Amino acid sequence: MKKKPMIVLASVFMMFSAFSCGGGSKTSSANEQNEKVVVNVPQFDADSAYLYVKNQVDFGPRVPNTKEHVACGNYLAEQLEAFGAQVTNQYADLIAYDGTLLKARNIIGSYKPESKKRIALFAHWDTRPWADNDADSKNHHTPILGANDGASGVGALLEIARLVNKQQPELGIDIILLDAEDYGAPQFYEGKHKEEFWCLGSQYWARHSHVQGYNARFGILLDMVGGEGSVFMKEGYSEDFAPDINKKVWKAAKKLGYGKTFMDGNGGLVTDDHLFINRLARIKTIDIIPTSPDGDFTPTWHTVNDTMDHIDKNTLKAVGQTVLEVIYNEK
Ligand SMILES: [Zn+2]
Q: How far is the CA of 116 from the centre of ligand 1 (A)?
A: 33
* Closest alpha carbon to 123 in 143, 145, 107: 107
Give start and end residues of each alpha helix (H) in 43-152: 46-57, 67-82
Give the amino acid at 77.
Answer: A
Model pLDDT for residues 205-216, shown as the tens digit of each residue: 999 999 999 999
Q: Are 154 and 125 in contact (CB under 8 A)?
A: yes
How many CB atoms lie under 10 A from the CB of residue 172?
A: 20
Residue 164 pLDDT exceeds 90: yes
Count how many residues are written for the chain: 331
- Average pLDDT of the residues of the chain: 91
Q: Whole-angstrom Cα distance, residue 178 to residue 222?
A: 11
Q: How far is the CA of 129 from the centre of ligand 1 (A)?
A: 10
Distances from the Cα of 31 to the Cα of 54, 182, 255, 261, angstroms: 40, 42, 11, 22
Q: How far is the CA of 199 from the centre of ligand 1 (A)?
A: 10
Residue 307 pLDDT exceeds 60: yes
Give the model's pLDDT for residue 36: 61
Sheet holding 86-95, edge to edge: 86-95, 101-110, 172-178, 118-124, 218-222, 285-288
| pTM reported for the whole predicted model | 0.90
Q: How far is the CA of 182 from the centre of ligand 1 (A)?
A: 5
Q: How far is the CA of 148 from the centre of ligand 1 (A)?
A: 9
Residue 13 pLDDT exceeds 60: no
Q: Whole-angstrom Cα distance, residue 98 to residue 127?
A: 17
Q: How far is the CA of 255 from the centre of ligand 1 (A)?
A: 30
Q: How far is the CA of 301 from the centre of ligand 1 (A)?
A: 7
Give the model's pLDDT for residue 194: 93
Q: How far is the CA of 131 from the centre of ligand 1 (A)?
A: 9
Bridging pattern class, strands 101-110 and 86-95: antiparallel
